[in-house]
């Protein structure tokens, strides 16, 4: 099979006749061929280390078509940021309320009130507020944990990542998914501690986990929460 330049999306058929979409991604940093589920786009992704191995990656995805269909079926129903919708913010469920006008979003009781000028995109303004909340929360936690470990990040970036909650580059730059702000406060704290620990240990060995524990002694409970409920956060927005 000749594979065209990215993006390349194909459909696979399962044994029972269901069809699932698969997006091919060429990632030179990947060590092997793999297939994963993108919960935000609600599609499967076949990852190939090179264009030369792309056909093998798609063949591998085809062999996993049944598993792909099962995983996609298990994804929670998506929810857009519309007035009346309820979303978690730092673990607290809030109803989105649209208010005509300008000004910052604010919490009143069990509502997140989002002022929206005439003609403005309500969903975009909600997301912008959540990104700002994520930046404020993570910047604060990172500062606390960095002081404990005697390290300092070169910068902090908030992104809309699909496959990871956070990352630490070899230059000391930390990046986080804005969606983590939907999780309870201890989970946000844990994620910050996890990535700050990478500023000391660029691995997941015993010394790395010792750094995480120093920053967040109760990290295991937060880590377990993220494993159990993390995928559900991708349905919002």
Beta pairing partners, 45: 23, 36
CATH class of the domain defined by 86-233: alpha beta
Whether 154 and 173 have beta carbons less than 8 Å apart is answered as: yes
Query: What is the per-residue pLDDT across 109-137, written as a single tens digit (0 to 9) for each?
Result: 999 999 999 888 999 999 999 999 999 99
List pLDDT tens digits, range 65-77. Answer: 888 888 887 777 7
Angle between helices 206-215 and 122-149 (to 10 degrees): 110
| Tokens representing residue 115 in the block | 């002022």
Local structure of 147: helix, strand or coil: helix
Model pTM score = 0.75
Domain residue spans in the chain? Answer: 8-74, 86-233
């Amino acid at each position: 099979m000749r594979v065209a330049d990215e993006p390349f999306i194909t459909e696979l058929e399962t044994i029972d006749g269901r069809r699932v979409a698969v997006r091919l991604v060429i990632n030179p940093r990947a060590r092997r061929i793999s297939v994963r589920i993108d919960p935000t786009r609600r599609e499967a992704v076949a990852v190939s280390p090179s264009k030369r191995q792309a056909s093998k990656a798609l063949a591998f995805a085809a062999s996993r078509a049944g598993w792909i269909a099962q995983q996609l079926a298990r994804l929670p129903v998506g929810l857009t940021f519309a007035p009346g919708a309820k979303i978690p913010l730092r673990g607290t469920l809030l109803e989105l309320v649209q208010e005509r006008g300008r000004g910052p979003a604010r919490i009143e009781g069990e509502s997140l009130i989002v002022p929206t000028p005439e003609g403005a995109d309500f969903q975009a303004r909600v997301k912008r507020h959540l990104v700002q909340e994520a930046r404020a929360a993570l910047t604060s936690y990172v500062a606390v944990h960095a002081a404990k470990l005697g390290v300092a990040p070169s910068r902090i970036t908030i992104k809309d990542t699909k496959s990871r909650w956070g990352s630490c580059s070899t230059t000391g730059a930390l990046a986080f998914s804005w969606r983590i702000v939907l999780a309870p406060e201890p989970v946000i704290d844990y994620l910050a501690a996890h990535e700050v620990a990478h500023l000391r240990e660029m691995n997941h060995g015993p010394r790395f986990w010792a750094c995480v524990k120093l920053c967040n002694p109760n990290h295991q409970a937060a880590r377990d929460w993220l494993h159990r409920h993390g995928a559900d956060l991708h349905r919002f927005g």
